[in-house]
Amino acid sequence: MRAVVFTSPDQPVEVLDVDIAPPGPGEVKIKIAGAGVCHSDLHLQRGDWPHPAPLVMGHEGSGVVVELGAGVTNLAEGDHVVISWVAPCGTCRHCLAGREARCELAASVVLPGGVLFDGTSRLSRNGQTVHHYLGTSSFAEYAIVPASGAIKIRQDAPLDVVALVGCAVATGVGAVMNTAKVEAGSTVVVIGCGGVGLSVVQGARLAGASRVIAVDLRREKADVAATMGATDVIDASSTNAIEAVRDLVPDGIDYAFDAIGHTATTEQAIAMLGLGGAAVIVGLPATGARASFEPLALAEAEQRILGCNYGSVRPAIDIPIMVDQYMAGDLMLDELVSDRRGLEDAARSLDELRTGAPLRTLLIP
Ligand SMILES: [Zn+2]
Ligand SMILES: [Zn+2]
């Protein structure tokens, strides 16, 4: 099959022919319909996160089940699915407690190793192993994933665009609903208005936040946030964002979401909080990045800093609900898609993401 292969940060990603083995026990093969280009692909490509290579990129995707491995009973050929890049093992203590986004097998074997549950890959090239990315590898014509990572959705949803639910939307909406548990009437700031940040904005609207302040360095992206539920927008290229937020909400903010994950934006999110406020780190920095805060101020104001991995989602429960919310008109997905392109445009799409211009580019194999 054709697939977008990453070899090293010094080398452009390229479309190559990759061999794909049949699905093993408990796995399924998916014909990819759409795959979103996410910042976590960019982090990998520019060497921010060490990872075994070569690998097939992509971790946000959707498609049709075309082949079942032995023992798979919860899916059938022809099912439409969104891929969850955390495929829950179902047996570790976090999965048993309903916190699948913390699955120990995913965190210790699948994600860092670039492999599936059994520690091996289904991908190869000229007899040499090619790794999976985040258990997914969706920038390709087909993907093999654990059955628990192929989330069945309704057949009438447009299949390419719902790929976004698999990462950006699950992460952003999940950060609001699951990680932070934003209450109705709360005040919310969202720093960064890309695919994840705009999903946080929409989640805050659905949660009934009274004030949703969107911050971005690009005015046009903050303006998109205003169409998705932001009550106020701040152009951080020309204003001090912390002061601008204080002008709007003098007592400080209940929930500040850092959807960028730079040291500066994490520190800004903490500085924006009021009494009892929580800063939620949703965007991801490079390995080893450090941010600072003043412990006395945090303690006296009973503030919290929350880490958020994959929106703390329960994939099999939350993903179909988010697809329903899209079909009901409560979640805007089409407006998040900047462009649809072929796999051969992956390198160009990653370059553009680096500039901060696009919202979400969908690759259509
Ligand atoms: Zn992602
Ligand atoms: Zn688990």
pLDDT in tens, 234-267: 999 999 999 999 999 999 999 999 999 999 999 9
Closest ligand relative to 314 C-alpha? 2
163 contacts 36 by C-beta, under 8 angstroms: yes
Write out the residues surrounding ion ligand 2, Cβ under 5 A: 89, 92, 95, 103
Q: Is 103 a catalytic residue?
A: no
Where do the CATH 3.40.50.720 domains begin and end in the chain?
A: 172-309
Of 36, 60, 43, the C-alpha closest to 6 is 43
Report, as an integer, the average pLDDT of 287-296. 95
Closest ligand relative to 172 C-alpha? 1
Q: Amino acid letter at 28? A: V
Q: pLDDT-based confidence at 356, cuts 50/70/90?
A: confident
How would CATH label the architecture of 172-309?
A: 3-Layer(aba) Sandwich (3.40)
The per-residue pLDDT for range 186-210, each reduced to its tens digit, is 999 999 999 999 999 999 999 999 9
Catalytic-labelled residue, pool 95, 167, 193, 308: 167
Dist CA 168 CA 62 (whole Å): 13
Q: Is 80 a catalytic residue?
A: no
| Paired tokens of 189 | 């700031």
Q: pLDDT-based confidence at 358, cuts 50/70/90?
A: confident
Q: Is 95 a catalytic residue?
A: no
**pLDDT at residue 357, as a whole number:** 79
- Average pLDDT of the chain is 97
**pLDDT at residue 102, as a whole number:** 96
Q: Does domain 2-152+333-363 have CATH number 3.90.180.10?
A: yes
Please tell me the pTM assigned to this model. Answer: 0.96
Where do the CATH 3.90.180.10 domains begin and end in the chain?
A: 2-152+333-363
Burial of residue 24 (CB within 10 Å: 0-12, 13-18, 19+) is middle
Q: Give the phi and the psi of residue 349 in degrees, each rounded to 5.
A: -65, -40
